[in-house]
């Protein structure tokens, strides 16, 4: 398998992730996160975290992007870019790993911090022994 490369379209998705981050609703934690999912047809779907006064209802940026993509009929993303203003890029939480895994276990996750530093991961490697359900309806 060739190593995933950072391309022009990744740059475009990165800009969209930063833009989505600027829209994050994070008045409680003050921690804004942006995400952009890339699809084989060139589509890019952004997301941001959306907090709530009832804290447990908070939606992370990655899951926001996945829900937006599914609503557009886009399922199998190839890459997910996640941006925060931390120096060291922040990895997705466990819930987001499971939701990303549902659609694209082989996708590349690019984590980008404030200095522009990137780290690269594969969804399935971020969530070994992921839960799968092959029961009725699948
Ligand atoms: N957050 C994300 O958006 N993605 C993650 O993977 C981890 C956490 C958000 C949720 C909450 O709004 C804030 O970061 C602090 O936890």
**Nearest protein Cα to ligand 1, atom 3:** 60
pLDDT in tens, 122-131: 999 999 999 9
Angle value at C-alpha 131, between 100 and 120, nearest 5 degrees: 35
Residue 3 lies in a domain: no
Range(s) of the domain holding residue 27 = 8-126
Q: How far is it, in rounded angstroms, from Cα 131 to Cα 86?
A: 30
Both structure tokens of 35: 């995400």
**94-126 residue pLDDT tens:** 999 999 999 999 999 999 999 878 999 999 999
Residue having the nearest C-alpha atom to atom 14 of ligand 1: 31
Give residue 136 CA to ligand 1 midpoint distance, Å: 32
CATH number at residue 88: 3.40.140.10
pTM: 0.96
Count of domains observed in the chain = 1
Backbone angles phi, psi at 56, to 5 degrees: -65, -10
In a domain, 31, yes or no: yes
Enzyme catalytic residues: 62
């Amino acid at each position: 398998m060739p190593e995933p490369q950072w391309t022009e379209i990744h740059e475009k998705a990165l800009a969209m992730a930063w833009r989505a981050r600027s829209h994050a609703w994070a008045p409680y934690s003050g921690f804004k996160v942006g995400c952009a999912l890339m699809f084989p047809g060139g589509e890019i779907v952004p997301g941001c975290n959306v907090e709530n006064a009832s804290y447990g209802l908070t939606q992370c940026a990655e899951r926001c992007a996945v829900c937006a993509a599914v609503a557009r009929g886009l399922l199998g993303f190839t890459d997910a870019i996640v941006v925060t203003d931390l120096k060291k890029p922040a990895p997705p939480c466990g819930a987001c790993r499971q939701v990303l895994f549902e659609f694209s276990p082989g996708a590349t996750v690019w984590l980008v911090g404030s200095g522009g530093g990137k780290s690269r991961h594969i969804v399935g490697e971020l969530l070994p022994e992921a839960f799968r359900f092959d029961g009725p309806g699948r």
